[in-house]
Structures are given as structure tokens and as C-alpha cells.
Amino acid sequence: MSQPLVGMDLADLREALGSDQPGYRATQVYEAIYRGRATDLAGITALPTALRQSLAERIAFGLPEIARRFESADGTRRYLLRLEDGRTVETVLMPEDERDTMCISSQAGCAVDCKFCMTALLGLERSLTAGEIVGQVLTLVHDNNLDRAHDPRRLNIVMMGQGEPLLNLDNVIKATRILLDPAGFGLSPRRITVSTAGIVPKIAELGREPVRPKLAVSLNASTEEARSELMPITRKYHLKDLIEACQAYPLRPWEKLTFEYVLLKGVNDTDADARRVAKLLANINAKLNLIALNPGPEIPYQTPDPERVASFQTIVRRSIPCFIRKPRGLDIFAACGQLKSSAV
Ligand code: SAH
């Protein structure tokens, strides 16, 4: 079978339907998948039955299968989704009063090897297709009835699950276009954020995209040496070049560049680090999110005390907005840096 329907844009659908079909058929299928929330071909009721049947014989619908669900005491849900080739990938839903945040994966596993992240232990299995990225969103929307109970504008999507999105940029962009298309999933560009470990040339490439998500950069250290230890990718893409790429990044008028900083006890959490971080980001329209380390059995670092985190925040706040991110779903290994397809 060829490429499945989920993940196809209008041009793909026109081609898949064939030139003997009128052009509006592609639009009908597109709207049914991404806006109408169809879950299979039979659900695309706008199509004549005979066409639905002939399509079903040659094209899969393409939503991932829910292998397992884990529910946290705080309401967070972690999903283990099975892809067509049998691999699994994780997606997390964090319901809140005002909005829901969905954390999706861009790759199965990850090649980047950050020393504080459990996903690194998997290594890279493979990049996800655009359909597998969009499919995570659709599956969780269906499973949680988000289409009925919630306005899609209330939904925030962060690409902070497994994988390095900028090492799968083409598929990430294709998925983002479908998610942001008013005739597609219809999300506002303010509501989707892609997070990178700092793939410098790809940051510039993303900035040239006319339709793009917001960008977050995982900073995690305040000097070249410290960052090279924690995030070996720094030896390839230096901190200095990363900061320059961020300074040159074309922000939209309503946009700030988000930086993330995982605080590791006694490693990168001193007041001097905080002052250096404030200095590094001084010429960028930036905000900083602090995350105290979410521990994992194989991770050789400790979580700092809340007082240390607060002191770090106080110093950074003198220069730029700085927030402390509360961990969600720690008890089910759903929090930042804990996604390694664990089935416990
Ligand atoms: N590869 C991308 C997206 C995935 S990581 C990136 O690096 O940005 C998403 C966020 O979780 C990153 O900011 C990362 O620094 C953070 N993170 C990783 N491991 C963590 C841990 N153990 N505790 C807290 N945050 C962690």
C-alpha cells in the first residue's frame, strides 16, 4: 500500500484520488480527516460509497493504534502509540483548566544524546512521517473527545516529546502546515511550538518558512564547556553560533523566542550561571522557562532544591521574563525527559 491518507495535503490527495475524480473530492477528504475528525474511510460520508470502497482497497487511513494509556494522579495522560511498522512512540496530554497541552514526538527515539534525558538512552530508531506526527494529534483528539468538549483554539501543541524536530524538519513542516491550515486542523500559529537542542543551520531554515510553528531552544547551560558536557551536540553547533542564530531569527510581531533550561543540582544552577544566562539572552526578545530536573533511574544528576530554583529565577527575571515549569505526569514517566516508551 502507498502512503496513508493521514498526513496527505491537498496535492497528495488529488494525486491519490486520480485525475478522473472532480477536484472537490480531494477537499472533501481533506476536511473530513483534519476538521471533520473522521477516524476511518467509512467516516468520510461526503464520498460516494463506491469511491470509499475502491479507496479502502488501495489506501490505508493511517491513524496509529493506541497500544497503552497511562493516567497520572495529576490528570496527565501518557499514550504509547503503535505505528504501522510496529514501533511505538509516545504522546502526552496535559489537561488544565484554561487549556489542554499536548506534547507530541517528532522521531521514535533520539540521536542527540543529552546526558540528562531518558529518551537519549533509546538512540534514534527513525524519524516520523508527517502523517505520524499529525496522527498523534488526531488520535488524542478523538480519544479525549476534544472536538466536542473543546474548541481547538484551546489546544496547545508542543513538539517536545521524543526526538529532535529540526533533524526531521521537512516532515515537521508538512505536519505543521496541515495543523495550522484553517481548512485543515485549524490551529492558531501561536498554539504550536517546536523545541530544538540547537541544530543551528536548521534554525535559519525554519525562520524562512512562511508557515511555521513557534520556536523554543533548549539552552541548559551558560558556558560553551558546560553545555558541551551536558549536550555533546554543542561540539558540532557551538553555543556562540546558537546564540547568533537566535539573534538573527525572524520573530513575528507577537512572538518571543522561548528558551528552556533544565536545572541540575550543583552542575548548572548557581547564581553565576543565572547571571551568564541573562547576559547570553540580553539581545534577544526572549523568555526563559526553568525546569528542575525530572529524575530517571539511569540519569546521573539530581534535582535542585526549590530555593535554588527560585534564586535562579529571581536573577534572570531582572533581565527577561522567566517562569518555573511545574512537572506533569512524573508518576507515569510522562514528564520532560522521561519519554522512553516505558511500558510500566
Ligand atoms: N529535542 C528537543 C525536544 C525534546 S526535549 C529539545 O531538545 O528541545 C524537551 C525539553 O525537555 C527540552 O527542553 C529538554 O532540555 C528537557 N528535558 C530533557 N530531559 C529532561 C529531564 N530529565 N528533566 C527535565 N527536563 C528535561
Supply the pLDDT for residue 343.
61
Supply the pLDDT for residue 94.
95
Q: Is 289 in the pocket of ligand 1 (CB under 6 A)?
A: no
Supply the pLDDT for residue 127.
98
145 band by pLDDT with thresholds 50, 70 and 90:
confident
Q: Are the CB atoms for 142 and 37 separated by under 8 Å?
A: yes
pLDDT tens per residue across span 210-242: 999 999 999 999 999 999 999 999 999 999 999
37 band by pLDDT with thresholds 50, 70 and 90:
confident
279 band by pLDDT with thresholds 50, 70 and 90:
very high
Cell for 68? 497503552
Percent of the chain with pLDDT over 90: 86
Q: Are the CB atoms for 280 and 227 separated by under 8 Å?
A: no
| Residue at grid coordinates 530508531 | 125
Supply the pLDDT for residue 36.
87
Beta strands in 206-275 (DSSP E): 214-218, 257-263
* Mutation pick for ligand 1 pocket among 117, 289, 325 (CB with most ligand atoms within 8 Å): 117
Average pLDDT of the chain is: 94
Q: Is 262 in the pocket of ligand 1 (CB under 6 A)?
A: yes
The helix (run of H) or strand (run of E) holding residue 70 is strand 65-71
Query: In Å, how far are 115, 200, 221, 239 from 225, measured between CA atoms?
Result: 14, 18, 9, 9
Q: Is 160 in the pocket of ligand 1 (CB under 6 A)?
A: yes
Supply the pLDDT for residue 26.
96
Across the range 259-264, mean pLDDT stands at 98
Q: Is 268 in the pocket of ligand 1 (CB under 6 A)?
A: no
Q: Is the pLDDT score of 61 beyond 60? A: yes
Supply the pLDDT for residue 147.
66
Q: Is the pLDDT score of 149 beyond 70? A: no
56 band by pLDDT with thresholds 50, 70 and 90:
very high
Supply the pLDDT for residue 1.
53
Mind giving me the DSSP string for 10-27? HHHHHHHH-TTS-THHHH
Residue 48 Ramachandran class (φ > 0 left, ψ -120 to 50 alpha, else beta) = beta
Q: Is the pLDDT score of 150 beyond 60? A: no
Measured CA to CA, the distance from residue 340 to residue 120 in angstroms comes to: 8
Nearest CA to ligand 1 atom 21: 337
Catalytic residue among 57, 71, 90, 322: 90
From first CA to last CA, the distance across the chain in angstroms is 34
82 bridge partner residues:
65, 88
- Cβ atoms within 10 A of the Cβ of 220, count? 26
Residue partners of 64: CB distance under 8 A and separation at least 6 = 81, 82, 83, 84, 89, 132, 135, 136, 139
Percent of the chain with pLDDT over 70: 97
Give the Cα-Cα-Cα angle 49, 55, 59 (nearest 5 degrees): 150
Q: Comparing 37 with 255, which gets the higher pLDDT?
A: 255
| Residue at grid coordinates 510500566 | 344
Supply the pLDDT for residue 332.
86
